[in-house]
Structure 1
Amino acid sequence: MFVLLNENFVDRTECLIDIEDRANQFGDGVYEVIRVYDGEFFLLHDHLRRLTYSLEEAKIDYDIRHHKLAEQLQKLMDMNEFKEGGIYLQISRGASPRSHPFPADTKPTLIAYPIPVSRPTESQEQGINAILHEDIRWLRCDIKSLNLLGNVMAKQTALDAGAKEAIFYRDYDHITEGSSTNVFIVKDGVVKTHPANHFILNGITRLYIFYLAEQLQIPIVEEVYSIEELKHADEVFISSTTSEVISVTNIDDVQIGNGKPGPIAQKFLDAFFKHKDVEQLSNTN
């Protein structure tokens, strides 16, 4: 397998990273996961726009246009003859002797490589269980940073409880998002999800759902909602690059709706590939 390391394509066995790279020492970097279907990137430009936002907010000096990152990722996919899955990429602040302040003259480190991703068809057909978990993460969840310990711990807690996802809440009654997903509820035909602010990551699939809602004429609003609203919703579903759209049928042993994937989530799932040729989403925030 070929890996893109900065400007070079190297065999995975030859991909060497400095032990003092700030990704290792501080989680000082940002990342993206970009889905590939049938040898084509899905919403590549939106992922790169969000990557630029994360870089700017984290004050990492890396210009994706200057480095022709889109072209490099295409070459990476071609060299690996990669047709189905995802491309993982991360950009750290670079390697420097360990010290908390930003190093003065360090160049960012880029790594990108293919990862296996398959469609979660069983979960989409049957729905999944979830648990509630206090949101212990930092307050800049809008930056897609490498600091994922809070997410990892919540996801493992869910798995240990026999669930597939942990749904975060703050201040006892403020639902934010999932450990690796965005969360939506449906009540009386209206879809509701958390506003795109610093409490959540503005997911690319989340934005795609807004686009699909417009095509399907399904009302969708961005509002903060409570645990009670979540548990008494007609439907709950999650979205992410790897999940696409998956219904949540049980939360902390409380059945959601009739305990089966709901009709609104199914409409989004049915439309998912009918509109996937859209090159760039206009409904971004």
Structure 2
Amino acid sequence: MRQVYVNGDYLPETEARISVFDRGFLFADGVYEVTLVLDGKLVDFAGHMRRLRRSLGELGMAFALTDEDLLDIHRELIRQNDIEEGLVYLQVTRGSADRDFLFPAEETPNTVVLFTQKKSLVDSPLAERGQHVVTVEDLRWRRCDIKTVQLLYPSMAKMEAKSRGADDAWLVKDGYVTEGSSNNAYIVTPEGTVVTRDLSTDILHGITREAVLQCAEDLQLRIEERPFTVEEAENAAEAFSTSASGLVSPVVRINGREVGPGRPGPIAARLRQIYLERSRASAV
């Protein structure tokens, strides 16, 4: 049975408990990170911890555990659950207090939960085939740069994509793609330029995004960080997304229209290969 971590204890998932008054449950007053595991090691761990601290700071949420504490917990869960390839999920909430929209007047102990997911992410049939995506209006709140646990609208967008026979949704605001439902979105122009939305409060500052853009820069690819339209995406030479769980995942159809030749393109394939090589070499 899978072992999880809850507030200092490692225990079977069936015995894990949090309070019904936890603010993560009542208000989505919490943040999270998901870290890729390859060969039993953590990929981009320092980057995920840096973003965690930023998210906590934006919500004014105190947090006592150090990065070293969290690294030990991640590694222990990987060991206990025998994870060679998969993910470690970390969630931190403001803790439990009587229900009130105002933050608790006195500091409450955080609720800290971690669990693992065993998944085959490298050998991905979806990456081989390429994703089919549809566009959906971006109706999320305007602080998408904070990695909060309020994920209902992205879940609704994924369900809409599924109902339309697609694999995922790309979110659109004012005619421009912001990002995928749980990933950052990219196109490759007919001239070979990699385009992805610039950082702002409209998108998550992806850790995999940062790593993949560095790979693209090292490959001397042209990069433009700017908004792009749905029409640009539909007429691109290639398209892809990045995330901790999807790595670099090609997109071959948008709104039923084939992107380029309708199969995964060489730039996405090369970036996926380089990203995997570097991730394996630098994992901790």
Q: Same fold (TM over 0.5)?
A: yes
* 1:76-132, Cα deviation, whole Å (9 max, x unpaired): 222323222111110011011111110123111000011122226211111111101
- Secondary structure of the residue aligned to 1:86 is strand
Q: Contact 1:180/1:240 (CA < 8 Å) preserved in 2?
A: yes
Query: In the aligned structure 2, how far is the partner of 1:215 from the partner of 1:278?
Result: 16
Read off the aligned partner of 2:83 and give its amino acid letter: F
Q: CA deviation at 1:278?
A: 5.5
> Which residue, 195, 207, 218 being the options, matches 2:198?
195
1:51-90 superposed matches below 5 A: 51-65=52-66, 68-90=69-91
Read off the aligned partner of 1:104 and give its amino acid letter: A
Query: In the aligned structure 1, how far is the partner of 2:272 from the partner of 2:67?
Result: 37
Query: Quick one: percent identity of the two aligned structures?
Result: 36
Count of paired positions? 279
Q: Contact 1:52/1:64 (CA < 8 Å) preserved in 2?
A: no
Query: In the aligned structure 2, how far is the partner of 1:185 from the partner of 1:44?
Result: 27
* 1:225-250, Cα deviation, whole Å (9 max, x unpaired): 11221111111111111111111111
- Corresponding position of 2:46: 45
* Higher mean C-alpha deviation, range 96-105 or range 134-143: 96-105
Query: In the aligned structure 2, how far is the partner of 1:11 from the partner of 1:181?
Result: 30
* 1:41-92, Cα deviation, whole Å (9 max, x unpaired): 1111111111111111111111441772122221222232322211111001
Query: In the aligned structure 2, how far is the partner of 1:116 from the partner of 1:168?
Result: 28
* 1:272 and 2:275 are equivalent in the alignment: yes
- Secondary structure of the residue aligned to 1:245 is strand
Normalising by structure 1, we get a TM-score of 0.94
- RMSD between aligned alpha carbons? 1.5
- Corresponding position of 2:14: 13
* 1:215 and 2:237 are equivalent in the alignment: no
- Corresponding position of 2:140: 137
* Higher mean C-alpha deviation, range 215-224 or range 235-244: 215-224
* Higher mean C-alpha deviation, range 102-111 or range 120-129: 120-129
Post-superposition, which runs of at least 4 consecutive aligned residues in structure 1 deviate over 3 A? Answer: 277-280
Read off the aligned partner of 2:118 and give its amino acid letter: P
- Corresponding position of 2:248: 245
* 1:113-154, Cα deviation, whole Å (9 max, x unpaired): 111222262111111111010000000000010111110110
Structure 2: stretches of 5+ with no match in the other structure: none
Normalising by structure 2, we get a TM-score of 0.94
Read off the aligned partner of 2:158 and give its amino acid letter: K
Read off the aligned partner of 1:43 and give its amino acid letter: D
